[in-house]
Amino acid sequence: MAAAPATLIDVHAHFLTDAYVQAASAAGHGSPDGMPRWPAWSPQAHLELMDSCSIATSMLSVSSPGTHFGDDAAARALTREVNEYGAELVRAYPGRFGHFASLPLPDVAGSLAEAAYALDDLGSHGVVLMTNAHGRYPGDEAFAPLWEELDRRAAVVFVHPTSPRGHERVSLGRPRPMLEFLFDTTRAVSDLVLTGTLPRYPGIRWVFTHGAGTLPLVVDRMELFRTLFGGPPAGPPVPEQVAGLWFDMAGTPFPRQVPAAVEAFGSGRLVYGSDYCWTPAPAAAAQVASIDAAPQPSGTTWRALTTANAKRLLPPLA
């Protein structure tokens, strides 16, 4: 009899609350990021998917468009509400769910307070932020106090893509997760590198999504421009810096995305991600099937490799 498949740890999974969907819709996100509608989500449906795909633990976070819709006070209140709900899910289903806490960026003071509350009081496993906060990217100097604190804590920072400013002119009416999310991930990483932010805060464990997006294709070009024009910021070459990030497999990992990422950056920081509930359950199950059917890495499996990596990224799960 064949052995049961090794269980997965899903670092890229999402939850929703009615209050959050109402607040986001009221702020103009009725069709979030150009998607036709908000998905349905419940703990029970999520657990059913996990059981069917041999997923042991899912790290829950709030996806794009985040929790800040223009007003700092409202963003702080909404962020606190979803974080307390996420932490309650972890308590209610021990071992099955983990939690990355939302932050109300670009409100730096509010984000510092919420990070301390989530990590110290709620027991969150890390924080989640968007690739840009109302058009401000993570190399923005105003965010330095937050990075200093998260660096001090050696925190896990899960960076989820969101729509860029001006998306109306470039997305051509198509859902932004198809292309713009991958490009905005690349833009956020380039900003961290070209502002010298990555080497300045080496304690932060940054996690980016979707098999590194377009980064395998552009890191050498980024290094060319970094060294040729304007004086490069201090730090290692761009490919070396980017190889120090973590990436998940959400989206379409095979036959092309994951092999390209592994060729560029190695497999030591590759983790599994489903992107459920924004990826519907049948598509998430098909993605897991594609991982199991793909050519496996030498001496191991994608399941075993990504699970071992996730336990290094998140030691409490070990």
Decide: 210 and 250 in contact? Cβ < 8 Å: yes
34 in helix, strand or coil? helix
Task: In whole angstroms, give the CA distance from residue 266 to residue 216.
Answer: 11
- pLDDT for res 30: 95
Decide: 77 and 100 in contact? Cβ < 8 Å: no
Do the domain assignments include residue 63?
yes
Task: In whole angstroms, give the CA distance from residue 242 to residue 247.
Answer: 10
Decide: 294 and 259 in contact? Cβ < 8 Å: no
Task: In whole angstroms, give the CA distance from residue 313 to residue 318.
Answer: 10
Do the domain assignments include residue 318?
no
Q: Which two tokens stand for residue 245?
A: 């990030």
User: In angstroms, how far is CA 283 from the centroid of its own chain?
Assistant: 19
- pTM: predicted TM-score of the whole model, two decimal places: 0.96
Q: Report how many domains make up the chain.
A: 1
Do the domain assignments include residue 317?
no
Which range of residues forms the domain containing residue 181? 8-311
DSSP 185: H
Q: Which residue is it, tokens 């990422």?
A: 261
Do the domain assignments include residue 3?
no
Task: In whole angstroms, give the CA distance from residue 302 to residue 299.
Answer: 10
Q: Phi then psi for 199, rounded to 5 degrees?
A: -70, -20
- In order along its 318 residues, the chain shows pLDDT tens digits of 345 567 999 999 999 999 999 999 999 999 999 999 999 999 999 999 999 999 999 999 999 999 999 999 999 999 999 999 999 999 999 999 999 999 999 999 999 999 999 999 999 999 999 999 999 999 999 999 999 999 999 999 999 999 988 888 888 788 898 989 999 999 999 999 999 999 999 999 999 999 999 999 999 999 999 888 867 677 899 999 999 999 999 999 999 999 999 999 999 999 999 999 999 999 999 999 999 999 999 999 999 999 999 999 999 988
Q: Which two tokens stand for residue 7?
A: 């269980």
Domain containing residue 54: CATH number: 3.20.20.140
Do the domain assignments include residue 1?
no
Do the domain assignments include residue 276?
yes
* CA neighbor of 310 nearest in space, from 270, 274, 250, 258: 270
